[in-house]
Amino acid sequence: MPDRRTLTTDCTSCFALCCVALTFTASADFAIDKRAGDPCPNLLSDFRCGIHDRLRPKGFAGCTGYDCVGAGQQVSQVTFGGRSWREAPETRERMFAALPVMRHLHELLWYLAEARSLAATREIHADLDAEIAELEQITAGDADAVLAIDVDARRAQVNPLLVRTSELVRTGAGRKKDRRGADLIGAKLAGADLRSTNLRGACLIAADLRGADLRRADLIGADLRDADVRGADFTDSIFLTQSQVNATRGDAATKLPPRLARPGHW
């Protein structure tokens, strides 16, 4: 099973790839427009952010919501051997192109590692191990190998295992409510019993989930931006990522799976 530390963002080992490679669009998430490949004006010479402790007040809430799932340091230290785009300008284009591909691959590894950690998935552990080993070999490759990956095809290959994981976990809890892909923008779900609900790909933007019970709910791909999750219980939810949590509004009473960190802006 993958070491979860390699799937956790470590900005100190990255060449600020998300601050350069990604596009910013002036909005509630970003105070400015920025083209992909242009360094953010807040980026310092040592790859640190000059307003890291003031991102949200300065209009960069999108930065606090982003999580690369460890892809940044993998590309920086493994794919490109620790040479930065400043040291080796000829690597810029390929390094920046590798970041989103690696992030997709690391996200899949995150999901697979979570599936493998569950007792309910024992019957598919061998299949999960095989998929994890294959992905780890790909992510350890050079830039040519990473950039040659068909991300959509890889997701399609992994998806049946993730769907089966969801079925095993939620059926074991005796409930199988299906709200897959549901439009729940701004939904009033305070105190709702959403245990073992399939919320795969559901749109929960600005939903009121205060005090909701989401134990064993499948949250893969659910859009939780600006959702109010104060007091909500995500303890045993599956496929919840740090990016999703970072985009919500929670408090000290919000219960998270132990693998996820409580966002500083809560």
3-state helix, strand, coil in the chain (%, to 5): 40, 5, 50
- Please determine, for residue 3, whether its predicted confidence score (pLDDT) is greater than 80: no
Reading the block at residue 19, the tokens are: 């601050």
In angstroms, the CA 137 to CA 8 distance is: 18
Burial letters 68-95, b for 16+ CB under 10 A, else e: bbbbbbbbbebbbeeebbeeeeebeebb
Mean pLDDT within 87-104: 97
In angstroms, the CA 169 to CA 175 distance is: 10
Residues of the chain above pLDDT 70, percent: 97
pLDDT for position 171 = 86
Mean pLDDT of the chain: 95
Q: How confident is the model at residue 177 (pLDDT cuts 50, 70, 90)?
A: confident
Domains of the chain: 4-22+66-171 (no CATH), 175-266 (2.160.20.80)
pLDDT for position 67 = 94
Beta carbons of 87 and 81 less than 8 angstroms apart: no
pLDDT for position 173 = 63
Q: Which residues pair with 249 in a beta bridge?
A: 228
In angstroms, the CA 6 to CA 166 distance is: 24
- Please determine, for residue 152, whether its predicted confidence score (pLDDT) is greater than 70: yes
pLDDT for position 172 = 67
Q: How many Cα atoms are found within 13 Å in the side-chain-facing hemisphere of 248? A: 30
Mean pLDDT within 167-191: 88
pTM: 0.92
Alpha helices, DSSP H, located in 13-172: 17-21, 61-65, 71-74, 92-116, 125-139, 143-147, 151-172
Encode pLDDT of 25-79 as tens digits.
999 999 999 999 999 999 999 999 999 999 999 999 999 989 999 999 999 999 9
In angstroms, the CA 251 to CA 230 distance is: 5
In angstroms, the CA 16 to CA 171 distance is: 42
- Please determine, for residue 168, whether its predicted confidence score (pLDDT) is greater than 80: yes
Encode pLDDT of 192-244 as tens digits.
999 999 999 999 999 999 999 999 999 999 999 999 999 999 999 999 999 99
Mean pLDDT within 81-99: 97
Reading the block at residue 42, the tokens are: 């807040």
pLDDT for position 1 = 67
- Please determine, for residue 176, whether its predicted confidence score (pLDDT) is greater than 70: no
pLDDT for position 5 = 75
